[in-house]
Chain A
């Protein structure tokens, strides 16, 4: 089955710097890759997703890139702000599958 590894487990950046979180997946058939942000005590919220027919997707300060050959995808946050501080989870699945496999999470701290 699918396995998703996420790095780093914690990341501390200065406000205004960029942050990059990386995930690798094992099943080459996976074709859907969402990212979730979870603030302390709150529910995870979908912030961006990408499908395997696209190499990059942007939404304001966040972007996701996908390398199907290497089976890895990354979340990029530019011009980080303190409110970006949260735990971020990547995930992978096959569209027709109901098993969305999550990474172990990255705790991002943006220092003012």
Chain B
């Protein structure tokens, strides 16, 4: 069966510091991968999606970037965090365009 991992689980970072969140998927090949952000008490905002290695589509222009160096690895980065970057970051995968299967998430607090 498929498993999706994210780390770290929680992170507290100062404003202006860099960020790297990692997501890996097991048990499937060539998955579609996604990064979502959820602000406290809010809905799910799609940040990036990828249909293959090196293929990244951005949904929201901001100070975040994503990379997919390997088939089952998806990385979310920032060079300088803003206060507004705080939130619950969820990686997800899908077998094609259908339902999303979410990872456990990273709770990021920017101070």
B90 at the interface (CB under 8 A from A): yes
**How many chain B residues touch A (Cβ–Cβ < 8 Å)?**
22
With A43-B90, A89-B43, A105-B43: A95-B105 Cβ-Cβ less than 8 Å: no
Residues of A within 8 A of B46 (CB): 99-100
In the assembled complex, the Cα of A100 lies from the Cα of B57 at a distance in Å of 14
B103 at the interface (CB under 8 A from A): yes
A73 at the interface (CB under 8 A from B): no
The majority secondary structure among interface residues of chain A is: loop
A98 B51 Cβ-Cβ under 8 A: yes
**How many chain A residues touch B (Cβ–Cβ < 8 Å)?**
22
Task: Select the stretch in B14-22, B72-80, B94-102 that faces chain A.
Answer: B94-102
Binding site for A on B (CB under 8 A): 32, 34, 42-44, 46, 49, 51, 57, 59, 90, 94, 96-105
Binding site for B on A (CB under 8 A): 32, 34, 36, 42-46, 49, 89, 93-100, 102-105
